[in-house]
């Protein structure tokens, strides 16, 4: 699981690069980043939240700063706020679920 955690964190960092590309590539990069976030939830039981937090932060940076379609400032003009908010909600839901699992794991370890 250690290698899985490092691979997922590295992959989420590499997925920041296609986020800058205009068009559908930035949305595909976002969806793949969400997929890595989902897979990284599996590493919480074995390594705590280290890899999940790294993956979550890389995905968040790619989402809010670099993603051509979803970034907060200077995004694609035809992207509506409803689309953006729904994709932000997907990210926040997965992040909060992962943080809940980390908290649950820490409480069991005590």
> Tens place of pLDDT for every residue, the chain, 110 residues?
678 989 999 999 999 999 888 888 999 999 999 999 999 999 998 888 999 999 999 999 999 999 888 888 887 778 888 988 999 999 999 999 999 999 999 998 77
Per-residue confidence (pLDDT) for residue 75, from 0 to 100: 76
- The pair phi, psi for residue 72, each rounded to 5°, is -70, -40
Spell out the alpha helix ranges (H) of the chain.
2-14, 16-19, 24-40, 44-47, 50-61, 81-109
pTM for the complete prediction? Answer: 0.90
Cβ neighbours of residue 50 under 8 Å, at least 6 residues apart? 5
């Amino acid at each position: 699981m250690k290698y899985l955690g490092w691979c997922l964190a590295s992959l989420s960092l590499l997925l920041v690069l296609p986020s800058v590309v205009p068009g559908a590539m930035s949305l595909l990069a976002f969806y793949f980043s969400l997929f890595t976030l989902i897979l990284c939830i599996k590493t919480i039981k074995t390594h705590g939240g280290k890899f999940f937090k790294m993956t979550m932060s890389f995905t968040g940076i790619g989402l809010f700063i670099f993603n051509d379609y979803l970034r907060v400032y200077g995004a694609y003009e035809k992207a509506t706020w409803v689309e953006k908010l729904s994709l932000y909600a997907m990210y926040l839901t997965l992040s909060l679920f992962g943080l809940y699992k980390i908290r649950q794991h820490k409480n069991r370890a005590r």
